[in-house]
Structure 1
Amino acid sequence: MTVPPDLVLAERPAAGEPEGLLVLHHGRGTSEQDLLPLADELDPERRLHVAAPRGPLQLPGWPGFHWYAVPRVGYPDPATYAAAYAALARVHDGLWARTGIGPERTVLSGFSMGSVMSYALGLGPDRPRPAGLLIHAGFVPTVPGWEPDLAHRRGLPVRISHGSADPIMDVAFAHDARERLTAAGLDVRYAEHGGAHHLAPSDAPAGRAFLDEVLPPRG
Structure 2
Amino acid sequence: MSDSLIPHVEVNTGDNPQACVIWMHGLGDSGHGFAPIVPELQLPESMPVKFLFPHAPVRPVSINNNMEMPAWYDIKSLDFNSRADLTGVEESAQQIKQLFDAQVEAGFAPEKIVLAGFSQGGVIAYHLGLRLPQRIAGILALSTYMCEPGLIAEQASEANRDVPIFVAHGEQDPVVPKILGEMAVKTLQENGYEPQWHTYQMQHNVCMEEIQHVSEWLQARLG
User: TM over 0.5: same fold?
Assistant: yes
What is the aligned partner in structure 1 of residue 74 from structure 2? 69
Q: Out of 168, 182, 187, which is 1:180 matched to?
A: 187
Percent of matched pairs sharing the same residue: 22
What is the aligned partner in structure 1 of residue 176 from structure 2? 169
Residue type of the alignment partner of 2:77: R
**Residue pair 1:56, 1:67 contacting (<8 A) in 2 also:** yes
Distance in 1, Cα, partners of 2:26 & 2:197 = 20
What is the aligned partner in structure 1 of residue 50 from structure 2? 49
1:69-123 residue CA offsets vs partner (Å, 9 max, x unmatched): 011345322332222122121111112212x112210111121101111111101
**Does the C-alpha gap of structure 1 residues 33 and 121 become closer, same or farther in structure 2, counting only changes over 3 Å?**
same
**Residue pair 1:123, 1:153 contacting (<8 A) in 2 also:** yes
Give SS of 1:71's match.
coil
What is the aligned partner in structure 1 of residue 33 from structure 2? 34
What is the aligned partner in structure 1 of residue 140 from structure 2? 134
Residue type of the alignment partner of 2:141: I
The Cα of 1:63 is off from its aligned counterpart by 6.3
Give SS of 2:34's match.
coil
What residue ranges of structure 1 are gaps of 5+ in the alignment? none
Q: Out of 103, 127, 131, which is 1:120 matched to?
A: 127
The Cα of 1:185 is off from its aligned counterpart by 3.0
Match status 1:96 vs 2:95: no
Match status 1:158 vs 2:165: yes
**Residue pair 1:111, 1:136 contacting (<8 A) in 2 also:** yes
The Cα of 1:152 is off from its aligned counterpart by 4.4
Distance in 1, Cα, partners of 2:42 & 2:113 = 13
Which has the larger helix fraction?
Answer: 2
**Does the C-alpha gap of structure 1 residues 135 and 66 become closer, same or farther in structure 2, counting only changes over 3 Å?**
same
Give SS of 1:33's match.
helix
More displaced stretch, 169-178 vs 68-77 = 68-77
| TM-score normalised by the chain length of structure 1 | 0.85
Give SS of 1:10's match.
strand
**RMSD of aligned residue pairs (Cα, Å):** 2.3
Q: Out of 205, 209, 212, which is 2:216 matched to?
A: 209
Distance in 1, Cα, partners of 2:151 & 2:190 = 22
Residue-pair matches, total: 210
| TM-score normalised by the chain length of structure 2 | 0.84
**Residue pair 1:122, 1:128 contacting (<8 A) in 2 also:** no
What residue ranges of structure 2 are gaps of 5+ in the alignment? none
